Structure 1
Amino acid sequence: MPSLACVAGEPSGDLIAAPALSALKQIPYTRDLRMFGIGGPAMQAEGFISRWPMETLSVRGYVEALAQLPAILRLRSELLHYLLKVERPDIFLGIDAPDFNLGVETRLKQHGVPTLHLVSPSIWAWRGGRIHKIARAVDRVLCLFPFEPEIYEKAGIAASYVGHPLASEIPEIVDQAAAKNDLGIDGITIAVLPGSRQSEIELIGPLFFETIAILAKQLEGQKVHFVLPIAAPHLRPAIERLQQQLLASHPDVQLILLDGDANLALAAADVVLIASGTATLQAALWKKPMVISYKVPWLTAQIMKRQGYLPYVGLPNILCGEFVVPELLQDAAKPEALAREVMHWLSHPAAVQKLQKRFEELHRILKRPTGLLVAQAVEQTLRERA
């Protein structure tokens, strides 16, 4: 039985990979493909066997990674030993997590295992020198954005545009009224997405909750709801502590906590307060005005600043090539400033309509049968190897 090894390093990678694993089961040549490695619940629901916890790799930033480095190195050593000595795969698919996966892919490629990498590292935004490491590690890069393959082809690296899976999952026409009805709310709705990692909740959570308090006061007398989808169960205790602190001083704030279901929160929202990351693209595909913010430890910020090429970090701005939504990062991330930008969207409907048209165009560009295209790339590589 042929086998596919995969490594997804965080929840977004798990969600991106799952449709491809599902599509592989629909193709006769790969229907009985054995799939194993490191993955999350979405991949496991497709029959994937995760032999190590994905959470070990769910780290963002240099300083944060240092604390987790011994566990990450130990995991990589165990993984490579398993893949080269115990159960050698016929093909390897790395899903995002380039700092981990590129090293694994390099070793496997040296030992004759074909390697694909899904989700291009952001070489167009920062750390462009990694393209040489990618060339040594990967047989083909599967790109989520349409401008990326040309960059790789110029460097002699095979690459394919597969679209972004979120663009197929999210409807092009948003039924906001139905979403609000599902939540049992009406009036102004502000979605709050502080991140999917414990470190993000610790750094960004207090900032966002202070912003909620300011907005609640500014919108006093109006019907307003704040909806916060909790990205993972282990984040709930920290968010509930912040909720209790907020309600102790502002008991009238209407804050709804959801178990996951970011799509419902975004569909219902009039405006979104959001941490930088994949969720910002999700919000753009829901055609929502947003305010992007992010905070990392000072040293991480300095390193990233020196290696960056673009003036923006949010995916909506990167893909549109300009600041279509505000970004308030690091020292600029103050609750008063965030509240001001949220209020700007609420009070400028013409600007919201203009933004929505940009996001509608972006949605059409990114919508491709991503899972099927990834599965076909895996199948083609397996056939060539055979």
Structure 2
Amino acid sequence: MVAGEASGDLLASHLIRAIKRHVPHAEFFGIGGPKMQAEGFDVRWPCELLAVHGYVDALKRYRELSGIRRTLLSQIRRERPAAFIGVDAPDFNLWLEGKIKHAGIPAIHFVSPSIWAWRGGRIERIAQSVTRMLCLFPFEPQIYERAGVPVSYVGHPLADVFPLQPDRAAARELLGLNSKRKVIALLPGSRQSEVNNLADTFIATAKLLLSRRPDITFLVPLATRETRALFEEAMRRNEAGELPIRMLFGHAVDAMTAADAVLVASGTASLEAALLKRPMVITYRIGKWQYRLMKRLAYLPWVGLPNILCNEAMVPELLQEDASPDKLADALEAWLADAAAVERLVERFTELHLALRQNTAEKAAAAILPYLTDTEWKASQQPA
């Protein structure tokens, strides 16, 4: 197995546990993290090594990552495991999976690349590289079926974990919040680059909202010490000491559950907000040339997962120049003022939650088990 970043480590750890329920003596090795290791995974390289941020970082580390990949491929060819499972990290895994599939070992990819959003031409490479694709979203399998790629829909693991009816009162009590005040959760992203790009705008938006509604409290969950330090520096730079902001170390799910509305950087956190049934405003800002390139390659009118999955503009998306404090504050205030719109959103997000709730780890394990236990199939794949 190869998992990239913390999200892949978590996803893979659940999958290992599910496979071991059916194949108790199964052994796993490759690239992974502490959660996989806790399930008995043999970590030959830590998954943090695959965490690259943007094209420049990827180019700088190309030789290092290429060396790791080739060394792992040699180990796989020598040890001949029953199967290879690449968890996300498509830029690293698809090359590896193509070589492994050619060697007669089933290559399974868990988490479809976003070919429905941009770079759809990758489907040809995927068809050549993978034995089976495991998809998290219900609209993805038809894309692979048209291309002749064996595919299974397994649902999204967050939908299994999050309750259908989040307990906002309990979250507010946990965070010690005044039940009479409005709460806005500000999530500027988990990466340092995201916080650098958005912190000033988020703080200016908070200032505007407070000037209009003095009864607001702001929650800012930050994932690391580094991102917290960046946000604190932005607070000092913008002379925002008077703002009723509480910074949290982690606790993003609690903050969103407790919130009346969420301002969130586009990414997985927006899906979390949808599963928590929270009204939100999605925003993002990247370099101009990078945004132009992404926009030219994109196929969909939305970037936020809640809108993509619902196939309609359920929540506002304010990107690049549109991500101004005035526009963001207006969009957030609109949610605070329209209880009927929030109720409709909760209904739609509940439908989405049910569609994504599939017992992902068990479904993924069920799709993988035939490749581990069908000796006739495995014999037919051995190179002559």
User: Do they superpose with TM above 0.5?
Assistant: yes
Matching of residues 211-226 of structure 1 within 5 Å: 211-220=205-214, 222=215, 224-226=216-218
Q: Does 1:176 align with 2:171?
A: no
Distance in structure 1 (CA, Å) of the matches to 2:211 and 2:60: 39
Quote the residue 1:368 is aligned against: 358
Distance in structure 2 (CA, Å) of the matches to 1:235 and 1:127: 30
Q: Does 1:167 align with 2:159?
A: yes
Deviation of residue 198 (structure 1)?
A: 2.2
The answer (yes or no) to whether the contact 1:276–1:294 under 8 Å persists in 2 is yes
1:106-146 alpha-carbon deviations (Å, 9 max, x no partner) = 11112222111111111122111111100111000011111
Quote the residue 1:91 is aligned against: 83
Distance in structure 1 (CA, Å) of the matches to 2:67 and 2:199: 31
Counting aligned pairs with the same residue, the percent is 49
Q: Partner amino acid for 1:378?
A: I
- Output the aligned Cα RMSD: 2.0
Matching of residues 51-70 of structure 1 within 5 Å: 51-70=44-63
Q: Does 1:46 align with 2:39?
A: yes
Quote the residue 2:108 is aligned against: 116
Q: 1:106 to 1:238 in 2, by over 3 A?
A: same
Distance in structure 2 (CA, Å) of the matches to 1:81 and 1:238: 42
Matching of residues 80-159 of structure 1 within 5 Å: 80-85=73-78, 87-159=79-151
Deviation of residue 285 (structure 1)?
A: 0.3
Deviation of residue 303 (structure 1)?
A: 1.7
Distance in structure 1 (CA, Å) of the matches to 2:171 and 2:282: 22
Which consecutive residues of structure 2, in runs of 5 or more, have no partner in the other structure?
380-384
Quote the residue 1:313 is aligned against: 303
Distance in structure 1 (CA, Å) of the matches to 2:213 and 2:295: 36
Distance in structure 1 (CA, Å) of the matches to 2:235 and 2:330: 22
The DSSP-based 3-state class of the residue aligned with 1:26 is helix
Distance in structure 2 (CA, Å) of the matches to 1:295 and 1:287: 25
Match of 1:197 among 171, 191, 199: 191
Q: 1:232 to 1:50 in 2, by over 3 A?
A: farther
The DSSP-based 3-state class of the residue aligned with 1:141 is strand
Deviation of residue 354 (structure 1)?
A: 0.9
The answer (yes or no) to whether the contact 1:271–1:290 under 8 Å persists in 2 is yes
User: What is the TM-score when the length of structure 1 is the normalising length?
Assistant: 0.90
Q: 1:44 to 1:331 in 2, by over 3 A?
A: farther
User: What is the TM-score when the length of structure 2 is the normalising length?
Assistant: 0.91
Distance in structure 2 (CA, Å) of the matches to 1:326 and 1:332: 11
Deviation of residue 243 (structure 1)?
A: 4.1
Quote the residue 1:34 is aligned against: 27
Deviation of residue 305 (structure 1)?
A: 1.1
The DSSP-based 3-state class of the residue aligned with 2:86 is strand
1:248-277 alpha-carbon deviations (Å, 9 max, x no partner) = x23232222222222111111111111111
Distance in structure 2 (CA, Å) of the matches to 1:77 and 1:106: 13
Deviation of residue 171 (structure 1)?
A: 0.2
The answer (yes or no) to whether the contact 1:61–1:296 under 8 Å persists in 2 is no
User: Higher mean Cα deviation, 141-150 or 229-238?
Assistant: 229-238
Deviation of residue 233 (structure 1)?
A: 4.6
1:264-304 alpha-carbon deviations (Å, 9 max, x no partner) = 11111111111111111111000011111112222221221
The DSSP-based 3-state class of the residue aligned with 2:128 is helix
Distance in structure 2 (CA, Å) of the matches to 1:89 and 1:238: 44
Between the two proteins, the alignment pairs up a number of residues equal to: 374
The DSSP-based 3-state class of the residue aligned with 2:45 is coil
Distance in structure 2 (CA, Å) of the matches to 1:71 and 1:234: 25
The answer (yes or no) to whether the contact 2:9–2:47 under 8 Å persists in 1 is no
Q: 1:42 to 1:335 in 2, by over 3 A?
A: farther
Q: Does 1:10 align with 2:5?
A: yes
Deviation of residue 99 (structure 1)?
A: 1.6
Q: Partner amino acid for 2:114?
A: S
Q: 1:49 to 1:300 in 2, by over 3 A?
A: farther
Deviation of residue 317 (structure 1)?
A: 0.5
Q: Partner amino acid for 2:3?
A: A
Q: Partner amino acid for 1:103?
A: W
Quote the residue 1:293 is aligned against: 283
Deviation of residue 43 (structure 1)?
A: 2.6
Distance in structure 2 (CA, Å) of the matches to 1:48 and 1:232: 25
Q: Does 1:358 align with 2:358?
A: no
